[in-house]
Amino acid sequence: LFVYYFLLFDKDKKFYYTRVVLGSALAWARASAKCLNFNSMLILLPVCRNLLSFLRGTCSCCRRTMRKQLDHNLTFHKLVAYSIALFTAVHIIAHLCNFEWYNDSQQAADGSLSSILSDLHQDEESNKWLNPIRSNNTVTYVTFTTIPGLTGVIITVALILMVTSSMEFIRRSYFEVFWYMHHLFVIYFAGLVIHGIAGLVRGQTAESLKEHNPELCAQDPKQWDRKNKHSQCEEPEFGSIPAESWQWVLAPILLYVFERVLRFWRSQQRVVVVKAVMHPSKVLELQMHKKGFSMEVGQYIFINCPSVSCLEWHPFTLTSAPEEDFFSVHIRAAGDWTEKLNDTFQGCRKAAIEVDGPFGTASEDVFQYEAAMLVGAGIGVTPFASVLKSIWYKFQHADQRLKTKKIYFYWLCRDTGAFAWFKDLLASLEQEMEESGKAGFLNYRLFLTGWDNSLVSHKHRRVQNTVSQPVTRLGTCSKVERLCAETCGGRLFLPSTNSSFLVLCRSVVGVFLCGPEALATSLQKCCHQYSSLDPRKVKFYFNKENF
């Protein structure tokens, strides 16, 4: 797109005289503007969560291709944002050069072609001029008094604030700053739509080209005669380039508006908090009920608590199963909003809650694989709690449609208190598997990553007192039917090619992670490393939760 429009504005005859004044900066400015319009059209689509959930539900014929791409919606959103930042920089630099050259041409009195072009139609009331800078104006005046200049400044400031507040450090430590700054996108799109209305960058009109061929007439501008109607070199007339940004972004804006209206309507439906439980490690469990609420495993919702903040909505993975008559989330206090929410429910059990969702994630596809590997880090275990609960219900009702034959579950935590969150669930699952004769269906290991190697054996008794023995298995470090670990208190990595895991799973294995980016990078690398090109052997498909 950039190359096409660069060549168009660098070669098109109607911009011949504009290039005389501005040089190649014209092509740089216009080509980058087209790319800005294109990326601005794309930037809203990955955050239309209802659209993505709808597409996930209609892509059953290509689950491992199209659906996996939908899981990268936030990565795509960031890449488009980087492109917008890049082309904005190019566009601004090009127009700064354009303004300087417009000004130089206006100030010149040497009878050059650019000087003559700048003086054309300046004293007339007609809109046929080429140079937007008048003799009594300055570049700064034009920048802050014209629609393109002023909106350009506003757009740039809004974009800078959005990009800088989206940095990982700001987003993790000061989420509210990120949240509010990101809503400057409304100003960005409003400014973008009206940015090109005034049309400061102009080209020769089609009517003028019939009477004035710039490739012939530019050789002797002194012979241009506006009075001789039969002259082939009448004075050229110029017109603005029509504003096109609205054509690029209108459809995505309307789609996003519909998305927000739908989300607002759903958020206004009454939510009843059935139960609020405080777990160890400052984790709040909310069990809720909402009329017409329907979910799948691994999905997430947005929660708003008006008593904490009327505007802030935060995503949380559902920890309940679709078979239950309520839906639940586990919220760890890790910031201002979550800490205030915990305090609110500790002091008042009837605080109002608004819920939007549910929305689909990669974890929905767990039961589409014959073997699944679930890896959760800390509170990242929440999507897999929903999966494990659903498995329990399926075995309770002897569901024969379950495609999955084996599940490996790995949970990494820094402290022992966190293991109490779902110990009852894991114990019930283990008992259910044994009673149904499928003790090998679910294999799980829990890892304490915050301990040193030398402390693991010393702390083992204390762990056993915190969590039941069938759940922990922390002291065995078995090499059968699980992934290898550096130590019992170490980090996870995929097995070697001769491990029992690969012997048991000569099939397609879905690897699902909800955890930090460093672990995701390592695990994804291992998935590629140990996947066989032979379709008769094991192949790992990596999936990561994104919010």
The answer to whether residue 20 scores a pLDDT higher than 80 is yes
Q: Which residues of 427-436 are buried (b: 16+ CB within 10 A; e: fewer)?
A: eebbebbeee
What single DSSP character describes residue 498?
Answer: T
pTM of the predicted model, to two decimals? Answer: 0.76
CA angle in degrees (0–180, nearest 5) for 349-351-352? 140
Least confident of 59-68, 75-84, 281-290, 337-346: 59-68
The answer to whether residue 478 scores a pLDDT higher than 50 is no
Residue whose token pair is 């061929």: 213
Residues 368-421: pLDDT tens digits?
Answer: 787 888 888 877 777 788 888 887 777 777 666 677 778 888 888 776 666 666
322 touches 297 (CB < 8 A): yes
Domain positions in the chain are 2-220+231-252, 272-359, 362-544
Task: Give the pLDDT confidence score for residue 512 in this predicted structure.
Answer: 86
Q: Is 192 left (phi over 0), alpha (psi -120 to 50) or beta?
A: alpha
Q: List, as own/partner pairs, every contact residues 247-253 make where C-beta atoms lie below 8 angstroms and the sequence separation is at least 24, other chains included.
A: 248/37, 248/38, 248/40, 248/41, 249/37, 249/40, 249/41, 249/189, 249/192, 249/193, 251/41, 252/41, 252/42, 252/43, 252/44, 252/45, 253/44, 253/189
The answer to whether residue 255 scores a pLDDT higher than 90 is yes
If we measure between CA atoms, which residue out of 373, 381, 380, 368 comes closest to residue 483? 373
Residues 422-472: pLDDT tens digits?
Answer: 666 677 777 767 776 666 777 877 777 665 555 455 444 444 444 333 334
Residues 8-17: pLDDT tens digits?
Answer: 999 999 899 8
Q: Residue 392: how many CB atoms within 10 A of its CB? A: 19
Task: Give the pLDDT confidence score for residue 76 in this predicted structure.
Answer: 92
Q: Tokens for 406?
A: 């084996």
Q: Which residues of 461-495 are buried (b: 16+ CB within 10 A; e: fewer)?
A: eebeebbeeebbebeebeeebbbebeebbbebebe
User: Which of 205-209, 423-427, 444-448, 535-539 is modeled with the greatest confidence?
Assistant: 205-209
The answer to whether residue 192 scores a pLDDT higher than 90 is yes
Mean residue pLDDT across the chain: 78
Would you tell me which CATH number, out of the four given (1.25.40.10, 2.40.30.10, 3.40.1390.10, 3.20.20.140), belongs to the domain 272-359?
2.40.30.10
Task: Give the pLDDT confidence score for residue 481 in this predicted structure.
Answer: 32
Same fold for the pair 272-359 and 362-544: no
Q: What phi and psi, each to the nearest 5 degrees, are found at residue 456?
A: -60, -50
- The CATH code belonging to domain 362-544 is 3.40.50.80
Q: Who has greater pLDDT, 457 or 83?
A: 83
User: How far, CA to CA in Å, does 321 sit from each of 16, 171, 394, 515?
Assistant: 67, 30, 10, 21
pLDDT more than 70, % of the chain: 78
Residue whose token pair is 């990101």: 182
